[in-house]
């Protein structure tokens, strides 16, 4: 996201939300416990909600949602590797993949927030970023529990 175009920045975050949704959804499908399944499905739903908020902003700015995002090929390959990890039989491995994906999302939000943005969009992104950070803390806690239980 090396641009000052808010539409391009928002579209990059839409792609981030799409990837995170897919990662959390796939992990939820393979989770061993109903609590973990519900947690992961809830995170996927939050990603879809964020994506819709971003899409609305792109439309309001006169852009086309989902076009011209700036995710690199390396980042796309990294998400693909995560998707293979979330098909694991181990909840710990799935949580590690989700944590790594969440790290990518945090990097993307930090980059977006470093750009000059209209105040209302900055406020939306800051709110969404707080949610991403909260999810990160929750995943880390669950991963630590899974490690202790050898799941």
Domain spans, the chain = 6-149
pLDDT for the residue 33: 87
Between 87 and 24, residue with greater pLDDT = 24
pLDDT for the residue 73: 44
How far apart (Å, rounded) are the C-alpha atoms in residues 130 and 134? Answer: 6
How far apart (Å, rounded) are the C-alpha atoms in residues 38 and 58? Answer: 30
What's the whole-number average pLDDT of the chain?
85
- pLDDT of 107 > 70? The answer is yes
How far apart (Å, rounded) are the C-alpha atoms in residues 149 and 143? Answer: 10
Where does the pLDDT of residue 13 fall: very low under 50, low under 70, confident under 90, or very high at 90 and above?
A: very high
Chain centroid to CA 137: 14
Q: Which two tokens stand for residue 34?
A: 């109903």
Where does the pLDDT of residue 75 fall: very low under 50, low under 70, confident under 90, or very high at 90 and above?
A: low
- Whether residue 63 contacts residue 7, with contact meaning beta carbons closer than 8 Å, is answered with yes
pTM: 0.86
- Most confident range (mean pLDDT) of 24-28, 70-74, 114-118 is 114-118
Where does the pLDDT of residue 90 fall: very low under 50, low under 70, confident under 90, or very high at 90 and above?
A: confident
Q: Is 71 helix (H, G, I), strand (E, B) or coil?
A: coil
CATH T-level fold of 6-149: Ferritin (1.20.1260)
Calculate mean pLDDT across residues 95-107.
90
């Amino acid at each position: 996201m090396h641009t000052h175009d808010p539409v391009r920045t928002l579209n990059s975050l839409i792609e981030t939300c799409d990837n995170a949704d897919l990662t959390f959804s796939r992990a939820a499908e393979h989770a061993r416990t109903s609590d973990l399944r519900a947690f992961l499905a809830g995170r996927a739903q939050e990603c879809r909600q964020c994506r819709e908020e971003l899409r609305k902003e792109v439309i309001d700015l006169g852009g086309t949602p989902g076009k011209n995002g700036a995710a690199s090929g390396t980042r796309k390959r990294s998400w693909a590797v995560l998707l293979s990890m979330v098909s694991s039989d181990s909840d710990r491995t799935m949580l590690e993949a989700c944590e790594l994906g969440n790290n990518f999302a945090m990097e993307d939000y930090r980059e977006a927030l470093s750009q000059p943005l209209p105040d209302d969009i900055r406020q939306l992104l800051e709110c969404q970023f707080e949610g991403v950070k909260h999810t990160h803390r929750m995943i880390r806690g669950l991963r630590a529990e899974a490690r202790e239980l050898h799941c």
